[in-house]
Structures are given as C-alpha cells and as structure tokens.
Amino acid sequence: EADIYQTPRYLVIGTGKKITLECSQTMGHDKMYWYQQDPGMELHLIHYSYGVNSTEKGDLSSESTVSRIRTEHFPLTLESARPSHTSQYLCASSEFGSRGYTFGSGTRLTVV
Amino acid sequence: GENVEQHPSTLSVQEGDSAVIKCTYSDSASNYFPWYKQELGKGPQLIIDIRSNVGEKKDQRIAVTLNKTAKHFSLHITETQPEDSAVYFCAASKEAGSTLGRLYFGRGTQLTVWP
C-alpha cells in the first residue's frame, strides 16, 4: 500500500480555474518534491522542499506555487489553469537525501 | 548541474530474452545511481540502486553495472517476462553537498516484452 497519497487521481477543469493538487505522506520524510511528467515520459522537477517552511523552485519553470506548513503535506496550487498546464503531476518524498524516493501515483490534470 | 542521458528511448524484446538500458552522467562527483520502474497509471518505484564504490549489483533477474571512469551505468534484465513491460528511469545524484536529495533523471525507456 502507498505511504504517499495524491488526490485527485484525475482532474478535468476549465481554463482560468484555481486548483490545488494534494500530496500527503505518512513516513515523516523531510524532503518532498513535485515533478511534471510530459507525454514523452520525461520527469521535470518543478518544486522541492527540504522541510517545514522551506520551498524551492526546480529546474522547469512553472506557474504553480507550493507550501510546506506541515511535514506530511506538500500541496501544489495553480492560480489560473491554462491548457498548457495539462500534464501528469507526481509527488515524491525521501528521508535520506536522494536515497529511498517514494512516489505517489500521480494526478493527471487536463485543462480544457 | 548533472546531465543524465538514457538510451534507448524504446526497447522491444521477446519474452525470455535479455534487455539492457544504458545511461551516462556528466558530473564525476555523482556517487549514487538508482533505477526506477514506472508501470501504467502508477508512480515510479525504485527497483535497484548502486553506489560508486561498487561495480556491479544483482537482485534476482535484474543487475546494474557501473563504470566510474567512463561515467556510465547500465540496467540488465534477464529472462524478461511480460510483467517487465514498463517505463524505466535511471538517475544520478551526489549524496552530499548543496544538492543533497536531488535526483537527476534520464528521459526514460519504454520496455515492451512480447509473449
């Protein structure tokens, strides 16, 4: 069973809507990450956090924002969704640096 | 930062044959190299990893080899089965320093095993 949970699994929304993708983990991991996965499979790091109140932008420019108020929770927010935001979003966490990354099952977002 | 290249992007093999996926990395300071398997509709899962003080590691039908001098590492799957069909990602990282915790992924290989 998963120790990292993403909701919703699938989401179809209209352009201009504000959305929040949820990610929660029960393992007490300090480090959490958001990846955007394009149809060509490639994983792009868009945000990461090394602990509470710590957030950093990743390699791929993203119009999304994140927050880390609690260790177990790392939500991603899009203030105004656009069709270009259509993608799969994967959340991950790790305890010991780069070892032991655990991924969630992802949220497939479609903006129409 | 680190640059990880992965080949091939797609690989089709007959059940029972072997499959090999190759990756190269650019940062000689990288010292940890995991492999992830992503099945349809799921997130990637760690299947095997290797550290730079080891040249080869095996776990049943899968093995990983590392050549530090050439900065490349490979995943070998023997006696492939249809359930091995998935997307495989290699990754590299430094287990110390300012990028602690950052994994740099290859672009993925879609492996299809035909019965």
Residue in B102, B107, B112 to test binding to A, most A beta-carbons within 10 Å: B102
Using a CB–CB cutoff of 8 Å, tell me whether A16 touches chain B: no
Query: Could you give the dihedral angle defined by the CA atoms of residues B20, B96, A72 and A54, in that order, rounded to the nearest 10 degrees?
Result: -130
* Minimum Cα–Cα distance from A95: chain B residue: B101
Query: Across the interface, do B105 and A42 touch by the CB < 8 Å criterion?
Result: yes
Using a CB–CB cutoff of 8 Å, tell me whether A31 touches chain B: yes
Q: How far is residue A112 from each of residues A9, A75, A80, A86, A108, measured CA to CA in Å?
A: 17, 22, 12, 8, 13
Of B43, B46, B91, the CB nearest to A90: B43
User: How far is residue A80's CA from residue A74's CA, in Å, rounded to a whole number?
Assistant: 19
User: How far is residue A16's CA from residue B35's CA, in Å, rounded to a whole number?
Assistant: 38
Going by pLDDT thresholds of 50, 70 and 90, the confidence category of residue A1 is: low
Q: In chain B, which residues have their Cβ closer than 8 Å to the Cβ of A99?
A: 32, 34, 49, 95
User: How far is residue A96's CA from residue A28's CA, in Å, rounded to a whole number?
Assistant: 11
* Minimum Cα–Cα distance from A5: chain B residue: B43
Rounded average pLDDT over A41-49:
92
Query: Which residue's entry shows tokens 């039908």?
Result: B61
Tokens of A80: 């105004």
**pLDDT attached to residue A101:** 87
**pLDDT attached to residue A39:** 81
- Can you say whether the dihedral through the CA atoms of A80, A82, A84, A85 is positive or negative? positive
Number of Cβ within 10 Å of residue A23's Cβ equals 24
What is the residue-level pLDDT of chain B in tens, covering all 115 positions?
Answer: 889 999 999 999 999 999 999 999 999 989 899 999 999 989 999 999 998 888 999 999 999 999 999 999 999 999 999 999 999 999 998 876 545 668 899 999 999 999 9
Which phi and psi (to 5°) does residue A84 adopt? -70, -15
Query: Could you give the dihedral angle defined by the CA atoms of residues A20, A26, A28 and A29, in that order, rounded to the nearest 10 degrees?
Result: -60
User: How far is residue A46's CA from residue A61's CA, in Å, rounded to a whole number?
Assistant: 7
Query: Which residue's entry shows tokens 């049943």?
Result: B60
What is the tens place of the pLDDT at every residue in A77-112?
999 999 999 999 999 998 766 677 899 999 999 999
Rounded average pLDDT over A25-52:
91
Using a CB–CB cutoff of 8 Å, tell me whether A1 touches chain B: no
Q: Which of B52, B53, B55, B62 is nearest to B32 (CA)?
A: B52
User: How far is residue B30's CA from residue B12's CA, in Å, rounded to a whole number?
Assistant: 30
Query: Across the interface, do B43 and A94 touch by the CB < 8 Å criterion?
Result: no
Rounded average pLDDT over A58-73:
92
**pLDDT attached to residue B102:** 80
Using a CB–CB cutoff of 8 Å, tell me whether A106 touches chain B: yes
Residue A94 or residue A62, greater confidence = A94
Query: Across the interface, do A97 and B100 touch by the CB < 8 Å criterion?
Result: yes
Tell me the pLDDT of chain A averaged across its residues: 92
Query: Could you give the dihedral angle defined by the CA atoms of residues B47, A42, A21 and B48, in that order, rounded to the nearest 10 degrees?
Result: 10
Query: Across the interface, do B45 and A106 touch by the CB < 8 Å criterion?
Result: no
**pLDDT attached to residue B18:** 98
User: How far is residue B81's CA from residue B112's CA, in Å, rounded to a whole number?
Assistant: 9
Of A43, A50, A103, the CB nearest to B101: A50
B94 residue type, one letter: K
Query: Across the interface, do B1 and A50 touch by the CB < 8 Å criterion?
Result: no
**pLDDT attached to residue A4:** 95
